[in-house]
């Protein structure tokens, strides 16, 4: 589709938030050529880090997610006969419920564990042994654990795929997938062939502590040409802000990275503002950058969108909810379709859905 047509679709969609929840996925669907090979390669893979994805696999995954989102009723049996083990040993609203919603919407069945003390873990059973048991009972595992090592500890014993749904301060790869999916749905021109469109991304958060930010930065590094600038806003020194390798990965990819402790300076130039204040550390969460918050009086660009991946705190005022800047609700909604796409690939059902139009 040529750029003018894409823009017309996006404009139309922006005028119909009542119907489409701020964006119509068809514009993204049209911007990406189908290539099923990349999706097939995800069969039975464990997903523990955003580093596992390459650019083309991501685009194909987003295409499939957009296909689900554009035609939600056509895929209600794609995962029939499959069982998801949903194990969340830490509080979650968005991730657990969107994974479970995704699986239900595709016709699968679910076993959900929301408290590790109801499993053999409370009696000293190892994660590897629990994993061995999971092989017998389900077809895919989604795990959230405060312990960063848990996903890898379990992986060795699993013959069914496991997805890291957030492991301490380490990673939250599927949240990052949902974040990038939202950005590309908002502006599919970014990945249109021959496009020179770029956006200025502002992330208010702490990459060394926040798993959502850590995973998102890894995906940003795969699409350097989409970002004119990436600004990280927090009140830490650079050495506290980044773990070893984080900044280097972005710079090596050619991303133009800035840091700032002054939100007011940065906001007027930002196209996408991603804000989050929570990091899970140990068995609880800490808040960072409490002095940074945005509301409807903040100096946002007229067309800027705001994303927020986690439970809302004082950093994001409700006064933004009924403004066109609010893409955080669309972000949470889109995560269901993104997870539908990923789950379908992992449990080898992707060929069933590629032929459905």
Q: Does the footprint of ligand CP cover residue 205 (CB under 6 A)?
A: no
Q: Does the footprint of ligand CP cover residue 309 (CB under 6 A)?
A: yes
Which are the contacts of 13, defined by CB distance < 8 A and separation ≥ 6?
A: 20, 22, 23, 24, 27
Of the candidates 255, 271, 168, the one whose C-alpha atom is nearest the C-alpha of residue 218 is 255
Q: Does the footprint of ligand CP cover residue 310 (CB under 6 A)?
A: yes
Write down the least CB distance from residue 133 to ligand CP, Å: 25
Write down the least CB distance from residue 206 to ligand CP, Å: 16
Tokens of 112: 């959900």
Q: Does the footprint of ligand CP cover residue 356 (CB under 6 A)?
A: no
Of the candidates 318, 290, 320, 315, the one whose C-alpha atom is nearest the C-alpha of residue 304 is 320
Q: Does the footprint of ligand CP cover residue 175 (CB under 6 A)?
A: yes
Write down the least CB distance from residue 276 to ligand CP, Å: 9
> Which secondary-structure segment (H or E) carries 340?
helix 328-346
Helix or strand or coil: residue 45? coil
Of the candidates 273, 147, 278, the one whose C-alpha atom is nearest the C-alpha of residue 206 is 278
With respect to ligand CP, which residue has the nearer C-beta, 122 or 311?
311
Write down the least CB distance from residue 50 to ligand CP, Å: 14
CB 270 within 8 A of CB 300: yes
Write down the least CB distance from residue 168 to ligand CP, Å: 12
The Cα 220–Cα 2 span in angstroms is 25
The Cα 99–Cα 115 span in angstroms is 17
Write down the least CB distance from residue 15 to ligand CP, Å: 29
| Cα-to-chain-centroid distance, residue 301 | 24
Q: Does the footprint of ligand CP cover residue 166 (CB under 6 A)?
A: yes
Alpha-carbon torsion (86, 91, 93, 95), positive or negative: negative
Half-sphere exposure of 2 (CA within 13 A, CB side): 2
With respect to ligand CP, which residue has the nearer C-beta, 94 or 348?
94
Write down the least CB distance from residue 178 to ligand CP, Å: 8
Write down the least CB distance from residue 166 to ligand CP, Å: 5
Q: Does the footprint of ligand CP cover residue 329 (CB under 6 A)?
A: no
With respect to ligand CP, which residue has the nearer C-beta, 13 or 90?
90
Q: Does the footprint of ligand CP cover residue 290 (CB under 6 A)?
A: no
Alpha helix positions (H), 145-237: 150-155, 173-186, 211-220
The Cα 302–Cα 256 span in angstroms is 23
> Which secondary-structure segment (H or E) carries 70?
helix 55-70
* Stretch of residues binding ligand CP (CB under 6 A), selected from 61-69, 74-82, 286-294, 308-316: 308-316
The Cα 357–Cα 350 span in angstroms is 13
Tokens of 96: 């657990």
Of the candidates 244, 246, 305, the one whose C-alpha atom is nearest the C-alpha of residue 274 is 305
Q: Does the footprint of ligand CP cover residue 336 (CB under 6 A)?
A: no
- Subset of residues 77 to 136 that bind ligand CP, contact rule: CB under 6 A: 92-95
Write down the least CB distance from residue 49 to ligand CP, Å: 16
Which residues on neighbouring strands pair with residue 259, listed in sequence order? Answer: 232
With respect to ligand CP, which residue has the nearer C-beta, 10 or 330?
330
Contact positions vs ligand CP (CB under 6 A): 92-95, 166, 172, 175, 309-311
């Amino acid at each position: 589709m040529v750029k003018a047509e894409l823009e017309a679709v996006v404009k139309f969609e922006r005028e119909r938030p009542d119907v489409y929840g701020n964006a119509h996925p068809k514009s993204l669907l049209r911007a990406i050529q189908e290539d099923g090979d990349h999706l097939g390669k995800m069969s039975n893979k464990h997903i523990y880090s955003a580093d596992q994805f390459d650019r083309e696999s991501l685009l194909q995954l987003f295409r499939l997610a957009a296909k689900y989102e554009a035609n939600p009723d056509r895929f209600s049996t794609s995962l029939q006969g499959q069982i998801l083990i949903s194990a969340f040993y830490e509080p979650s609203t968005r991730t657990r419920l969107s994974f479970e919603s995704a699986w239900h919407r595709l016709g699968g069945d679910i076993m959900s564990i929301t408290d590790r003390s109801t499993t053999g873990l409370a009696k000293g059973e190892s994660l590897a042994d629990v994993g061995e048991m999971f092989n017998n009972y389900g077809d895919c595992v989604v795990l959230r654990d405060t312990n960063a090592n848990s996903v890898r500890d379990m992986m060795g014993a699993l013959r069914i795929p496991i997805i890291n749904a957030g492991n301490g301060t380490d990673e939250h790869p599927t949240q990052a997938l949902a974040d990038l999916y939202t950005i590309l749905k908002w502006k599919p021109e970014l990945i249109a062939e021959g496009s020179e469109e770029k956006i200025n991304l502002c992330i208010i958060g702490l990459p060394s502590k926040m798993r959502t930010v850590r995973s998102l930065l890894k995906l940003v590094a795969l699409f350097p040409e989409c970002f004119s600038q990436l600004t990280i806003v927090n009140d830490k020194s650079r050495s506290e802000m980044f773990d070893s390798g984080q900044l280097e990965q972005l710079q090596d990819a050619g991303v133009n990275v800035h840091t700032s402790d002054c939100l007011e300076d940065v906001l007027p130039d930002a196209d996408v503002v991603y804000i989050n204040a929570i990091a899970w550390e140990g068995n609880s969460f800490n808040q960072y950058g409490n002095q940074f918050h945005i509301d409807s009086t903040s100096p946002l660009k007229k067309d800027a969108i705001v994303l927020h991946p986690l439970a809302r705190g004082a950093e994001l005022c409700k006064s933004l909810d009924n403004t066109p800047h609010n893409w955080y609700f669309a972000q949470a909604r889109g995560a269901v379709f993104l997870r539908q796409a990923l789950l379908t690939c992992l449990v080898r059902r992707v060929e069933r859905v590629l032929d459905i139009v």
